[in-house]
Chains A and B, each alone.
Chain A
């Protein structure tokens, strides 16, 4: 098996690891770095549970090879909260009751974070479309959408 050494910044920390070239970023995060907040629901790009933010863009980490993250900045759910304090977006998820089993939550939060950063003034339809690739079997989605709309409103300073 071919190996390669990569250097990636994950949640602000630099990691240098020698890994098999076929390793996905999701595996790298979970197994090499022990960051198990990134979930695997399908491992084939169909559910969004593994979403992380790579250099500002939300990506399914099960479809990205770890070697592609060489030199990149990766944000996972573990890096979203600010120390002990929850990120307001996380608080918005809690406040809206947007969590049931919680398996989709990390991926949802990262998708939402990227969405708001790209467009702090989304319509409900845009938010709905924006999380289309993130499957949630529990909540029925509407509270997740509410959470994202509320957070966007806060970011804009309307609230």
Chain B
């Protein structure tokens, strides 16, 4: 049974402002007296800086500050403090900021940048995972010299910045039991989040403190990084969040904020900085490449017995959140299966490329590519239908996962069935040829992902004079609908019209702390905090109601939004009428807080990442794809996709579906289109013509979406998460379908027309 308005498809609260052009995104903000910044980027992937001459730039009228590595030796980082604001001594990736100018207007700033002269001496390029491992050159001379903030384990004398090992059961014994073993490699190319809004920041800073305006996904994390980098007291860093024009992970890290602060301090004026699309490609953030070597064994009746995964993530030239991806994806690297013996051996390496970070799922799409192509290969070898094979092995309640946890609330089997049903799986062969000679194939994939644990959040509810409620919580609206879902959760407790609850803009100056808007965590964590605060609001209103009615406080009962008195059944007051009732007049304001954290329920994983409870909750889902290949051109057309995700409980089912629809199309880009291409260390397709992301024409396929609801006992109303999951199985299901259609096992993401045409060559 549902409680109103849980499960209601309420319209999004930010819709009106967005459809009228009133929403203010990063670039729409301006601060009186602001200067404009332009950046000089490295033209080399790896080179020594012999000299930087800024004298001409400084002379240009209207220029207020010029900075380069020599005059600004600040290092920053979220996990390892290894990143300079401007390259010091050497550049480590094409596009790395080398110097920057703040001037009265943007044209002057850009002109001044052209006057900066830099002499470089190229160094050997660490261009690939193998280059990094063979130590062809060192990206950093000494990784151990940097301050580690936790969650990162650099290996001295190497280009390896992090390692992760998961060990469950006995892998050698496991393979002894296997009747069939498949060994494969899979490589995911570098891709980009490509939100429509590029990075932008305004900073007004001095040595005392700073005020930053930015479309940040994780304002409190960025606050911490900035405070540390510049030696500010945390409370003197104010991050005012603008609307975000798409994030998908790339607006988690501090990127332009440090540059803006450094320039603002030097010029003693506010500074605005905005990436153009080219800068966004070459120097913002990306999804790093990753290579898998997988070995999986099963018995002849189709039971998985062992899986070994060797993983190398390429995080680019600085550490960023690479180790976090390694960690999160490591737990999910074996997929949602019962595998008694599993081993994950995973590394993060550094190369001379732009920086990798979280990309809608912290590596979960990539690991799903690895384990799901394996499942397909095993099923084929066993002569089994791959849906049946997966159903035979998928984790069900009470089973032990590869992390050593006895899992509960597992909707995996149902998701697989429903996703397959979405394309009519059972009525179709694995591949067939259409009358006009096109190749059709079907493919399936599933995934399992944890949410970052432990983590914390807090919420505040304020009852206004007119009885409306203002909700303060730090989750950022990225388009996923959190500004609508959290008020829905508040309304479910307060029993009031959700229309009358609004979420405040987020600003670290007054919003209560929230760790981050990532990992599909907001509805779960924020929702729990909001529920606690809402319950407290009721308790705080009760005495006011009692006072007004002149009855005993103990007689006041609250149910479904209505206060009544056990002593007098003619007295009732609905939450929507609290303002009018006058009970709050001249009383101390009614406000309440709720705080929530998952540390208490978390069991810290051991060195082999075994834990009774490594995560507050797991997300699980599946997708099936039917594709059509034109054998003459090698192009892939998606015909239909079935998607089923266990959301725990859909607070706003329409929002959940929207997340999945958007993910499906983004996943098509991942699967068959998108790849950042470097040649000799230089990004050669850093624009929207050469780096193609899906347009409306690429989205012309049938989508059959099912929401599975296996409530999570810890989630508010049973909620899990759905912001990232839709993307995880999309690319692997499409790639499996292409492989089926072509009778050829593709082992890369993306699979482009040329890969199809020249397969096997």
Contact = CB atoms under 8 A, between A and B. Distances in A.
Interface of A: 1, 30, 35-44, 46-47, 49, 76-78, 80-81, 86, 90, 93-95, 97, 99-106, 109, 128-129, 131-145
A36 B12 CA distance: 22
Nearest to B696: A141
Interface in B695-754: 695-697, 699-700, 703
6 contacts: A37-B21, A86-B16, A86-B20, A134-B696, A139-B662, A140-B663
Interface residues of B, number: 53
Contacts of B107: 1
Given A97-B658, A140-B662, 7 more contacts: A41-B277, A99-B15, A101-B18, A102-B243, A135-B688, A137-B248, A143-B658
Interface stretch (B194-202, B418-426, B451-459, B512-520): B194-202
B277 A44 contact: yes
Interface in B16-42: 16-25, 27-28
B19 A94 contact: yes
B198 A140 contact: no
B479 interface: yes
A78 B21 contact: yes
A140 B243 contact: no
B696 A144 contact: yes
Contacts of A39: 25, 27, 196-197, 245
B468 to A, nearest CB: 20
A50 to B, nearest CB: 11
B19 A109 contact: yes
Contacts, number: 161
Contacts of B703: 140, 142
A144 B11 CA distance: 15
B377 interface: no
Contacts of A38: 21
A101 B193 CA distance: 14
Contacts of A93: 15, 19
Contacts of A77: 20-21
B18 A102 contact: yes
A28 to B, nearest CB: 14
B664 interface: yes
A103 B15 contact: no
Contacts of B245: 39, 41, 101-103
Contacts of B663: 140
A134 B662 CA distance: 15
B689 interface: yes
Given A109-B19, A138-B246, A142-B699, A44 B687 contact: yes
Interface in B650-664: 654, 658, 661-664
B237 to A, nearest CB: 25
Contact of B196 (A43, A49, A81): A49
Contact of A129 (B22, B248, B658, B697): B697
Contacts of B11: 94-95
B443 to A, nearest CB: 19
A100 B696 contact: no
Contacts of A94: 11-12, 15-16, 19
A141 B21 contact: no
B19 A135 contact: no
Contact of B23 (A46, A90, A102, A138): A102
Name the residue among B21, B107, B197, B478 with the largest chain A CB count within 10 angstroms: B21
Nearest to B659: A100
B198 A102 contact: no
B291 to A, nearest CB: 27
A143 B705 CA distance: 14
A112 to B, nearest CB: 11
B696 A101 contact: no
A141 B478 CA distance: 17
